[in-house]
Amino acid sequence: MTAIARGFVAPKNRPYLFLSGTVFFLTMLDWNGGRFLTSATAFSVLQTFATLGPAALGLGMTMLVREFDLSIAGVFGLAGCVAVLTGGESAWLGLLFGILTGAAFGSVQGMIITSLGLPSIAVTLGGLLIGVGMAFVLTESQSIVYGNMDLALRLNERIATVFSLRSLVTAATFVVAAIVLGFTRIGRDMVALGSDRRSAEIVGLNVKALLIGAFICSGALAAGSGALLSYSLTSAAPSGLSDVLVPAAAAAILGGVSLSGGTGTPAGIAAGVLTLAVMRAGLNAIGAPPYAHDLAMGAILLAVAVLDAPRFGQNLGRLLNRQ
C-alpha cells in the first residue's frame, strides 16, 4: 500500500499526477457545464504551452545541471524587441537575430560562470537587468509595432482544431530535447553533472562545455518563444521584468526538475507547463475569479516544496513509527 502511495508521490511520476489531477478536478468542477472540455480550451492551453514551454524547458536544463538562469525573463522580452526591430524585411531573419541574441546572452553568462567559478544566480541577475535594460534602450521605452499581420495570423491559425504553428514548433522542440537528453550521451552527462559535479569532473566530463551549453540552450529557447510571441501579438514592448520567470520556474518545478540538480526530463517539464496552462485556461473557462489560478499554483508549489523537503520525510517517518 505504502509502495503504491510512494510511487504516486515519487518525483518521477509526480508531473503526470499533477496534470491528470488538474484535468480531473476541473472536469469535476465543470460537471456537465460543457465549458472546460472544449476545443477552445484545448487551443488556449496549447497557446499558453507555446509561450511558456520553451522558457521552462531552458530554465529546466540549467536546473538539471544545478544552476539557475534568472536572465530568461530579460532575454524573453529583449528577443521579442530584437525580432520585431530586425524582422521588418524577413520574419525568419528577425527570429534568427532574436534567437542569436538569446544564445549570445547564454554563452557569455555561461563562460563567466565557468571560467571565474561564480554562482549562477548572481551572474544571471546581472544578465537579467542588462537584458531588460537593452530592451528599453533599443525601443526607447516605446511599444513597437510589427507590420506583418499575415505572419501573426499564420502563427496563431488553428491547425487540426487545437494546434497552431507556434504550439507545434514548441512541441517539436520538446521532442528534440527529449531525444537528445534521453538517448544521447549528452543527456546522461548532464544528469551526472547535476548530481555530483566533483565526480563528474573526476571521471573526465567536459564540465565547462556542458554548463555553457545549458546556458546557451536556456537563452536561445527563452529568446525563441519571446520572439514568436511578439510576432503573434504584432508588437513588442520593453515590459520590464516580464512575467515569464516565475511561471517558467513553477512549471519546471511542477515538472519534477529539482533545484538540487540531476533530476528532470523534458517530458516532465512539458507536463508541468501543461498543468499550469490547463489550470489557467480551465479556471478561466469555468468562470473562476482571476485569483484562483494564483492561489492554486501557489498551493501546489508549496506542497511540492514541503514534500521534497529533507526534514519532512524524517518527521513524517518519526510520526508514523510512533503510532
Partner 1 sequence: MSRKALASNQLTAVAWLRLLFVATLAVAVVLTPGFLSAPSLLTLLTTVSFVGCVAVGMTFITLSGNIMSFSLGATVAACAVTFVAVLNAAGPLAGIVAALTVGGLLSGAQGAIIGGLRANPIIVSIAALALIQGGLNFITGNATTNANPGAGHEVLRGKLLGLPIEFVVLLILVVLGQSILTWTTFGRHIYFVGSGVRAAEAVGLRVGWIVTGAYFWAGLFSAVAGVLLGLRYNQANMEYGFGYDYDAIAAILVGGTAIQGGQGSVFRTFAGVIFIATIQVLLLLHGFRQEWQYLIAGIIVLLVVMLQTTGRRHV
171 binds partner 1 (CB under 8 A): no
Among the residue ranges 33-41, 99-107, 173-181, 249-257, the one whose residues contact partner 1 (CB under 8 A):
249-257
Max Cα–Cα distance, the chain, nearest Å? 72
Of the two residues 152 and 245, which places its CB atom closer to partner 1 in the complex?
245
CB contact at 8 A, 207 and 228: no
121 binds partner 1 (CB under 8 A): yes
Report the alpha-carbon distance of residue 166 to residue 281 in Å, rounded.
Answer: 17
**Phi-psi region at 287: left, alpha or beta (left = phi > 0; alpha = psi -120 to 50):** left
Which amino acid type is present at position 215? F
The residue within the footprint of partner 1, chosen from 33, 88, 298, 317 (CB under 8 A), is: 298
Of the two residues 65 and 155, which places its CB atom closer to partner 1 in the complex?
65
Determine which helix (DSSP H) or strand (DSSP E) holds 123, and give its type and residue range: helix 120-139
CB contact at 8 A, 144 and 236: yes
Q: 144 pairs with which residues across the strands?
A: 236
Shortest reach from residue 128's CB to partner 1, in Å: 7
Please count the residues of this chain forming the interface with partner 1, following the rule CB under 8 A: 55
Among the residue ranges 13-21, 161-169, 175-183, 284-292, the one whose residues contact partner 1 (CB under 8 A):
284-292
Report the alpha-carbon distance of residue 248 to residue 225 in Å, rounded.
Answer: 12
Query: Would the CA dihedral through 115, 119, 121, 125 be positive or negative?
Result: negative
The residue within the footprint of partner 1, chosen from 19, 123, 228, 285 (CB under 8 A), is: 123
- Site track for partner 1 across 187-216, x = CB under 8 A: ----------x-------------------
- Site track for partner 1 across 17-56, x = CB under 8 A: ----------------------------------------
Q: State the residue for C-alpha cell 525580432.
A: 83
Binders of partner 1 in range 76-95 (CB under 8 A): none
Q: State the residue for C-alpha cell 548532464.
A: 190
- What angle, rounded to 10 degrees, do the helices at 207-233 and 39-64 form? 150
Binding stretches for partner 1 (CB under 8 A): 66, 68, 112, 116-119, 121-123, 125-134, 136-137, 140-141, 197, 238, 240-241, 246, 249-250, 253, 259-260, 289-295, 297-299, 301-302, 304-306, 308-312, 315
